[in-house]
Amino acid sequence: MKTKKKIVICLLILTAVACAAVIWILGEKAGTRQMEQSHTDPGTLEVHFLDAGQGDSILVKSEGENLLIDAGTNEDEDMVVSYLKEQGIEKLDYVIATHPHIDHIGGMDAVLETFPVGICFLPEEIYDTESFRDVLTVLEEKHIRTRHPNCMENYKIGSGRFVFVTPDSDRQYEDVNDASLGIRLTNGAHSFLLCGDISREVEKEILASGVLVRSDVMKLNHHGSEDANSWRFLKEVSPSYVVVTCGTRNEFGHPHEKVMERVRKLGAGVFRTDRQGTVVFTSDGKTLTSSREPDEGGKRK
């Protein structure tokens, strides 16, 4: 009898331990799911297309982290620095100098001198101008970490993430515009394609690589130039909205009418910094809003 009682007691203890273990495991899994859910829930991400005349400057903000893509011309440097300060920017976690042309990096040296920078991405393409040398000088003097990114290299920014979609940055091109670093930025269900001044040739390379380019918002390549923005590329991106960064009555005729005809055929809403000034998109991962109504067209059906 004593032996049977011991056996029964042992079985009861083992059963209790097993039940406790199951409850603990289920609790752990439930907790893990909750943590994963809270980790993947998208936060707010803003994309500011600054009115930098014929130059480019784009600010991305999300959950206290910041990315600046280009900084306009030399004449724009005070405006860009002031705008960043107005936005409460104290540090730039990332800076992308898409390529060495003055309308993209002219104001970059002032930005680098004003704000602490985590890492600066730039192509290896060398361009012997005073503006580009000024940028390289500040990077060296302030010991800012630099990187020449590879295609598909990706980074987290707040609740969002960006991936480099242009060919590896060590490529040398006859046209410096084609050395532009381009990214696809995502936040929840929303995406932005920002590819500097690439031409049709690089657009072909991107499509041939198979990298994902489908995006809700696309900055037209090379300010809406006819040497870029092919119908095949636009159709593959299939944006609901496009943004044209260009100067009022600029000497280059940007955006070119043939490109705008393709955009109209696509049915995308058009935002233009030359007509509307700075345009800001805000994404909470589910709803995408803009600070202005499209200058032309509307959201695609």
Residue with tokens 């540090």: 91
Assigned CATH topology for domain 42-290: Metallo-beta-lactamase; Chain A (3.60.15)
pLDDT in tens, 40-80: 567 999 999 999 999 999 999 999 999 999 999 999 999 99
* Pairing, β 279-283 against β 45-49: antiparallel
pTM, two decimal places? 0.85
pLDDT in tens, 227-242: 999 999 999 999 999 9
Q: 240 to each of 246, 267, 271, how far by Cα in Å?
A: 20, 8, 11
Residue with tokens 């991106």: 237
pLDDT in tens, 268-284: 999 999 999 999 999 99
**Do residues 169 and 149 touch, judged by C-beta distance below 8 A?**
yes
| Residue spans per domain, the chain | 1-40, 42-290
**Do residues 159 and 282 touch, judged by C-beta distance below 8 A?**
no
The structure tokens listed for 234 are 């636009």
The structure tokens listed for 24 are 């603990």
What phi and psi values does residue 159 have, to the nearest 5 degrees?
A: -90, -5
